[in-house]
Structure 1
Amino acid sequence: MPDLLLELFSEEIPARMQRRAAEDLRKLVTDALVERGFLYEGARAFATPRRLALHVAGLPARGQDVREERKGPRVGAPDAAVQGFLKGAGLAGLDQARVVSDPKKGEFYVAVIERPGRDTLDVLAEILPAIVRGFPWPKSMRWGAASAEPGALRWVRPLHGIVASFGPETETPERVPFAVDGIEAGFVTHGHRFLAPGPIEVRRFADYLPALERAKVVLDADRRKDIILHDARDLAFARGLELVEDDGLLEEVAGLVEWPVTLIGSFEERFLAIPPEVIRATIRANQKCFVLRAPSSDGRERLANAFVLVSNLVASDGGAAIVAGNERVVRARLSDAAFFWDTDRKVPLADRLPKLESIVFHEKLGTQYARVERIAALARALAPVVGADADRAERAARLAKADLVTEMVGEFPELQGLMGRYYAAEQGEPPEVCAAIEEHYKPLGPGDRVPTAPVSVAVALADKLDTLAGFWAIDEKPTGSKDPYALRRAALGVIRLVLTNGIRLPLLPRFAEALGAHAAASGAGAGPDLLAFLADRLKVHLREQGARHDLIDAVFALPGQDDLLMVVRRVEALGRFLDGEDGRNLLAGTRRAANILRIEEKKDGRAYDAAPDPALFALAEERALAAALDTARAEAGRAVAGEDFEGAMRALSVLRAPVDAFFDKVTVNADDPALRANRLALLNALRAATREVADFSRIEG
C-alpha cells in the first residue's frame, strides 16, 4: 500500500519544542485522515534541529465509495421541511428521492446519497496546507517581505522547504501538489548545515533515511540520544572516569545536533573546591555539557576536573579547537562560581535575613521576611508533634530562606536550599539544621524523596502549611488546570510527609493556627475548605496506589476526619473488610436500609432518628437485629476510639446474619403505622452503627 513522506525543513527548532512538535504533526495528519475515512497501518514522526518529518505507512490509494440512505419528511409534509431535506441531501427535486412506506409512520421520503471515494493524493493536498498553517507551536514568528501581509505564515523559525511524496513502494511516488506561502512541496531536502549542505532528492521514506545518514543527519532523536550516551560513557571510561548521567540534559543536547560528536575537555583541579552541585549546574546551564566523576570506594560522589561536550561537527583537527573554546568558557564560568562561593561564605546566613524584608513574596501576603517569621512559629509548634527539637526546628526555619539573597542562588536559582545547607555547615550550624534548610522544599513532586529527619519534617510541613493557608486566606485557590502557586504540589507534600513519617496531625487546628497568622484571613470557612482540598489530593494520591476513592469519601463523610494518617488506616481496614463476604453482604444490607429510609423519609417528610422501641418488636428477627446492633455499635465505637479499625470491622461483621434474616422475614412498611415507624427507626440504627467506621451510603456497588 502507498506511504506518505512529509518533511518540513526550517531554521533551528528549539530543542525543548521538538519532541512535542513531532507528536503534534503525527496526530494532526493521522486524525485528519481518519476523520475522512482513510485508515493507515502505522505512523511515526521525527524531529531534528532543522526538520520535522512524518512517515505514514499503509494508506489506501483511494478512499472508499460511500452510499448513504438519508430519511426525510413524511409525504405531504410542509414545503419548508421538504426543501430543507432536498438541500441537505443535495437533490434537485423529489423525483430523485424514493418513497418508503412504514406501517406505523406512513409514507416518507428517502434520499440515496452516493459519493465516490476521493484520491488520497487529493485529500492530502487539501489537509496538509491547513495543518502547516495552523501548527500549534508554543511560540512562532513571521519573516520576510510577506510577513506584513494578512494571513502570512507563522512558523517556529523561517520555513525553507517542504518534501511531500505519496505512492507505493513498487512505483515512483507522486508529489503531493500543494504550496504554503509560495513554498512548493517537492522532493528536495538538505543534509547537515555544514557537513553536507547540498540538495538531496528523496521520493520515499525507505530512501529518505539512508540519504540523510549519508548527509550527516541522524533523523531519530532517540538514536541521537543513544549515540551521545554510549560515546560519552566510552570517553569517560577511557579516562578511568564515570559519566554523571542527566536525562534532561541528554534530551536537550540531542535536540541541538543532527550529527552528534562527543568530545572531552577539562578544567583546573582547583575548581573542585567548589561544591559539586555548583560545578554541575555551571557546566550544564552555560555549556550544555556533562560532568564526570572519579570512581569512589566510599559511595561519595567526587567530581573529576573533566567534562563531556557534544559537537555538531566532525572537525578536521579532531575537535581540538572546539574543546579549547569550551574549556575557556567553562573556566570563566567556574571562576565566577568560585567568586560567588567565596563571597557568600563571608556573610553568615542570619545576617542576610534583613534583606528578605525587601523581597515581596506576594503583594497580599507580605515579604519573605514576614513569611519566615510565620514558618518559624509554625515549625516550633509542630516540633513536638514530629519528635523534633523545638529550638533547632525554629532555627532551621529562620535560616531556610536566607540563601535566596546569596550571589550563588541569584545565579542558579535551582540551587536554593542546597546552598543554604552548605553555608550553614560552613558557619557551624548543627547537622539537623543544615539538613532541614535543604530538605524543607521537599518533596517537590510525586517521585521526589520525602524527608524523614524530625527537624526537616517540621520545617517542611510548616513551609507548606503556610503556603496553603496564605493563598486560601486571600482566596487564590487553584481553578481547573490552573495552579500558578503550585498549591496542589504543596498539599501533596503535606500528605506524603504525614503518611511517610506516620505523623498524627489533626489538620483543622493547624490550619486555624496558620490562617490566624495572616492578616488577610477571611472567615471561619477557610479551614474546612482547605481540608476538603487536601481530601481531594489524598484521593488522587491513594487512587494512584490502587485505593478506592469511594472508600475515602465514606471515611471523610464522618465528622472530625482531619487526621490524614487515621483516615488512611481506616480506609485500608475498610477496604480489607469489604473484600470479604461478610463485608460485601453487610454493605448490601446497609445500602438497602439506606435506600428504604431515604424514600420513606422523603415521603413522610420526617426523619426516623429516634431509638427503636423494644416493646414494638413483633418478630424474633427484629429483636435479634436490635441486640446485635447494640453490641456491635458499642464494640465498634470502643475499637475506633482505640484506633483499632480492624477490630471495628470485626465488630460490624457480626451484623451480617441478623441483617440478612431481618430483610428475609420482616416487612418494613407494615400496615400498622407504629410498627412501620419502629422498623424504620431500627434501620436508622443500622445506618448509625455502620457510621462508627464509615458512611456506607458513599460506597459504590
Structure 2
Amino acid sequence: MPDLLIELFSEEIPARMQARAADELKKRMTDGLVEAGLTYAGAAAYVTPRRLALTVTGLTAESPTLREERKGPKVGAPDKAIEGFLRGAGLSRDDLEERDTPKGAVYFATITKPGRKAEDIVADVLDATVRNFPWPKSMRWGAGSLRWVRPLHSILCILTDETGARVVELDIDGIKAGDTTEGHRFLAPGRFAVTSFEDYETQLKRRSVILNAAERAETIWHDATNMAFANGLEVMDDAGLLAEVAGLVEFPVVLMGEIGADFLDLPPEVLQTSMKEHQKFFSVRNPRSGRIERFVTVANRTTADDGATILAGNQKVLSARLSDAKFFWENDLRVARADMATWTRALENVTFHNKLGSQGDRIRRIAALAETIAPVTGADAAEARRAAELAKADLSSEMVYEFPELQGLMGRYYITAAGIGEAVAAAAEEHYSPLGPSDSVPTAPVSVAVALADKLDTLAGFWAIDEKPTGSKDPFALRRAALGVIRLVLENDLQMALGEIAAAALGGHSDAEDAAVLADLMGFIHDRLKVLLRDRGIRHDIIDACLDMPGADDLTKLVKRAEALDAVLKTEDGENLLQGYKRASNILAQAEEKDGVEYSFGADPRFAQDPSETALFEALDMAESAIAPALGREDFAAAMAAMAGLRAPVDAFFEAVQVNTDNQTVRRNRLNLLSRIRSVCLSVADLTRIEG
C-alpha cells in the first residue's frame, strides 16, 4: 500500500490564509480519493509561507473492480427503448440477458467498471483540486489560465512503496509534477529530490525549513520567552499574533530590540497595538513597572552579525511609527484637558445609522436611559448620565481614528487626564463589554448602567426600524447585544423589570411606541436567554414553563425559578409529581369538556371517603401555606420542594380511588380536588409546558 506525498510550491502565501488552505487541501484530496474508490490509513497537511504539503499513508494501490446489475426494458419493447438503455449502460445487444419476472420477461445487463491505479486517480483528483482551489483571493500570471494565491512554481507528487518512489504523471497548465522541491529561499536555495514524506521533512529541516507550523510557533515562543526571562522581562501573550508570525517564516530567528526612551511613557496598550498592527512585533513588559520596554521580532534567516542589521532597520521603522502615536497621544491629551465636549460636539456630524440619527443623537438616548437604569445598578443617576455623555467621546480622538480597536480604553485615559471621576472613566472603557462569551462583564455600578443603556438602545433602535436579525445574518451584532444585556443582568444579580426599561429605550425612538414591537424585542431577548441556559444544561421547555409566570421580564428571577424547577425535575419526586400533575390535568380536562363546567373550587374534605383523600387535602393545605411565602421571598428552591412534597400523597390518591365514581357528589369533590393539585403546581411554574 503506497504512501502519497504532495507539495504545491509557490510564492509567499498570506499567513491569514494558510491554516484554512492546509485543511482544504487535505479535505478535497482525501474526499476525492475515497469517492474514486481508494482507502487510506491516515492523512496530514502542512503549510509554510511557500508550500502546501499533504501526506497520505496506507493508500490502496488501485480501486476495486465494480459490477453493477441494471434492469432494462421488457423483452419485446420498442427498439428505441432498448437502444437508449444500451447507450446509457455502454453495452451492445449481445451483453443483454433475458430473465423471467412476475411481470414478464425483462432484459438485464451487468456493467463492469474495472479498477484504476492509484496514480491515475491521484492525478485526476489533484488536477481538480488545484484548478478549483477556494482561495479567498487568487491571481493569474503569465499566459496561462490557472489561478492560485500567488504564482505556483512547482508540484511535487510521488507515491512510495516497498519498491521505491515514483512520480505521478501530471501536467497542470505546463507545470509538470516531479519529485523535487526547494529549501529555504536564502539559507539553502536550489532544488533537491525526495523519496518519501520522512525524507522530505528531514531534508527540509536540513535546509532550514521547519515544515510544521505548530513547531515553528513553539520555537518562536520558547526562544522569545527565554530571551525575555534572561533580561528580567516577560513577553505579552498573543496567540493570534504568534500564529500569524509562524506563518511568515520558514526558519524563525527570534531577535529582541529596545524601544526608544521617548516612547516608554505611552500607554502600554498603544505601544502593543502599534507594534502588533504595523510591525508584527511582540511586546515585552517589565513586570516591576508594568511598562512595555522592548519588542521581539522574528526574522526568516540567520545573519553574520546575529541580526544586528535587521534589528537596526526594525527599530528605525518602529521609531517612525511610534512618533506618530506619540503625536496623537499628546494632541489628544491637550483636547481632553481643555474641553472633552469638543469631541462630543464633533460626533453630531457622524452618522450612526441613516434611520437612527447621528452619534450625538445616540449619546443623548443612552444618557437618558443610563439615568433611568442607575437606581437598579446602585449607581448615582447624575454620574451615570455624565458617564454616558462622555463614554464615546474618544471616537473623535486621533488615536482611536488610527487604532479603532482602542476605543473605550483611550476614553478612560482621556477622562482620567481631564480630572473627571474614576467611575466615569471606567465606564468609558467597560461599557462596550461583554463583547463575546469569554469576555468579562463589568461590575462597577456606573459601568453596568451605561453598558446596559448602550446595548438596549442598540436593540430598541434596530427593532424600531425593523432591521432585525434574519437566519444567520446579523450585520449589527444584535444577538451579541442581547446576550450582553442578559449577562450584565445575571452576573451582577440585578433585579429589574427589563420590559419597562426596554419600553423606555423604545420610547427614545418615536416611531416605536408599539406593544407588539416591545413584545417582539422581549421575545428575542428571551430566545437568547434560552440559548445561554441551554449551554448550562437547562432545557428550553423548563425555561418556557417559567416564562409564563408573573415577572418573567426580571431575568434574574426567571433564571432562579428555572434552575430550581430544573433541579426538582431531576429528582424522582419531581419526575413522578410531574406525571401525577399531568394525569390530574388530563382527567380534569376530559371531565370539564364532557360536563360543560369548570371544576375550579369547592373541594371539601368532609366528602372524602378514603384516607388518601384526606391526606391529599392536608398535603395541599401544607403545600399552599409553604409555597406562597416562598414565592413572596423569591425562594424558588423552597417553593419547588414544597410542590415536590405532593408526590407521595398524589400517588397514593390515584392508587386508592377512582375519580369518576358513580356517586356524583364524590365525583365533583374529587374533580375539584384535582383542580387544587393543578392550581398549586401552576402557582410555581407552568408545568403544561414541560415536554414528555
Letter in 1 for 2:271: I
Once the two structures are TM-superposed, the CA of residue 285 in structure 1 deviates from its matched residue by 1.1
Structure 1 residue aligned with 2:153: 160
Counterparts of residues 106-121 of structure 1 (less than 5 Å): 114-121=112-119
Which secondary structure state, in structure 2, belongs to the residue aligned with residue 47 of structure 1?
A: strand
1:342 aligned residue (330, 333, 352):
330
Say if 2:98 and 2:105, in contact at 8 Å, map to a contact too.
no
**Inter-partner Cα distance in structure 2 for 1:546 and 1:577:** 14
Q: Is 1:303 matched with 2:292?
A: yes
Q: C-alpha displacement at 1:240, in angstroms? A: 2.8
TM-score, length of structure 1 as denominator length: 0.90
Question: CA separation in 1, counterparts of 2:638 and 2:128?
Answer: 66
AA partner of residue 212 (structure 2): D
Q: CA 1:635/1:37 → structure 2, altered by over 3 Å: closer, same or farther?
A: farther
Partner of 2:443: 452
2:501 maps to 1:510? yes
Establish whether residue 207 from structure 1 lines up as the match of residue 189 from structure 2. no
User: Among residues 226, 238, 250, which one is paired with 2:242 in the alignment?
Assistant: 250
- 1:534-545 matched pairs, under 5 angstroms: 534-545=525-536
- Change in 2 beyond 3 A, CA 1:560/1:661: same
Structure 2 CA distance for aligned equivalents of residues 32 and 382 of structure 1: 59
Once the two structures are TM-superposed, the CA of residue 81 in structure 1 deviates from its matched residue by: 9.4
Comparing 639-648 and 458-467, the one that deviates more:
639-648
Aligned-residue offset at 1:619: 5.9
Give the letter aligned to residue 412 of structure 1: F
For the residues of structure 1 that align with 2:218 and 2:524, how far apart are their CA atoms?
43
* Greater Cα shift, 221-230 or 133-142: 133-142
Q: Distance in 1 between matches of 2:315 and 2:449?
A: 44
CA distance in 1, matches of 2:213, 2:141: 28
Say if 2:176 is the partner of 1:178: no
Question: Which of 303, 319, 329 matches 1:331?
Answer: 319
* Number of the residue aligned with 1:216: 208
Offset of residue 662 of structure 1? 4.2
1:401 shift after superposition: 0.3
Could you say if the C-alpha distance between residues 108 and 616 of structure 1 is closer, same or farther in structure 2, counting changes exceeding 3 Å?
A: farther
Cα distance in 1 between the residues matched to 2:440 and 2:519: 29
Kindly indicate whether residue 652 of structure 2 is the aligned counterpart of residue 661 of structure 1. Answer: yes
Residue 25 of structure 1 corresponds to 25
Name 2:54's counterpart in structure 1: 54
Give the direction of change, closer, same or farther, for the CA distance of 1:648–1:84 in structure 2 (3 Å limit): farther
For residues 3 and 359 of structure 1, the distance between their equivalents in structure 2, rounded to whole angstroms, comes to 61
Instruction: Report how far residue 440 of structure 1 moved.
Output: 0.7
Query: Unpaired segments of 5 or more residues in structure 1?
Result: 147-151
CA distance 1:611–1:119, shift in 2 (3 Å): farther
Task: For 2:564 and 2:79, locate their aligned partners in 1 and report how far apart those are by CA, in whole Å.
Answer: 69
What is the DSSP-based 3-state SS (H/G/I as helix, E as strand, rest coil) of the residue aligned with 1:194? Answer: coil
Question: 2:396 is matched with which residue?
Answer: 405
CA-CA distance at 1:279 after TM superposition: 0.9
Distance 2:76 2:504 in 1: 77
Q: What residue is the counterpart of 1:149 in the other structure?
A: none
Opposite residue 535 of structure 1, the aligned amino acid is H
- Counterparts of 2:125 and 2:630 in 1: how far apart (Å)? 67
Change (3 A) 1:475 1:619: farther
1:262 equivalent to 2:254? Answer yes
User: Is the Cα–Cα contact under 8 Å of residues 6 and 54 in structure 1 kept in the other structure?
Assistant: yes
> Partner amino acid for 1:47?
V
Q: 1:372 aligns with which of 347, 358, 363?
A: 363
Q: Aligned to 1:278, which of 270, 274, 280?
A: 270
| Contact 2:75–2:98 (8 Å) recurs in 1 | no
Aligned letter for 1:141? Answer: M
Q: Which amino acid aligns with 1:123?
A: I
Q: Is the 8 A contact 1:451 1:497 kept in 2?
A: yes
Partner amino acid, structure 2, of 1:254: A
More divergent stretch after superposition (232-241 vs 329-338): 232-241
Q: Which moved more, 1:352-361 or 1:483-492?
A: 483-492
The one-character-per-residue Cα deviations of 1:529-560 (angstroms, maximum 9, x if unpaired) are 22222222222222223333332222124354
Change (3 A) 1:314 1:71: same
| Aligned-partner residue type, residue 145 of structure 1 | A
Distance 1:589 1:407 in 2: 68
Deviation at 1:407, TM superposition (A): 0.6
Alignment partner of 1:639: what SS?
Answer: helix
**SS where residue 648 of structure 1 aligns?**
helix
2:141 is equivalent to residue 143 of structure 1: yes
Cα 1:34–1:611 change in 2 (3 A) is farther
CA distance in 2: counterparts of 1:372 and 1:584, whole angstroms: 51
Q: TM (normalized to structure 2)?
A: 0.91
Q: How many residues align?
A: 688
Of 71-80 and 417-426, the range deviating more from structure 2: 71-80
1:277 shift after superposition? 0.8
Quote the offset at 1:618 in angstroms. 8.3
Cα distance between partner residues in 2 of 1:282 and 1:95 = 75
- How far apart are 1:359 and its partner, in Å? 0.8
Q: Which amino acid aligns with 2:579?
A: A
Mapped to 2, the partners of 1:382 and 1:128 lie a distance apart of: 61
**In the aligned structure 1, how far is the partner of 2:661 from the partner of 2:72?**
56
- C-alpha displacement of 1:85: 7.6
SS of match in other structure, 2:195? coil
Corresponding position: 1:564 with 2:552: no
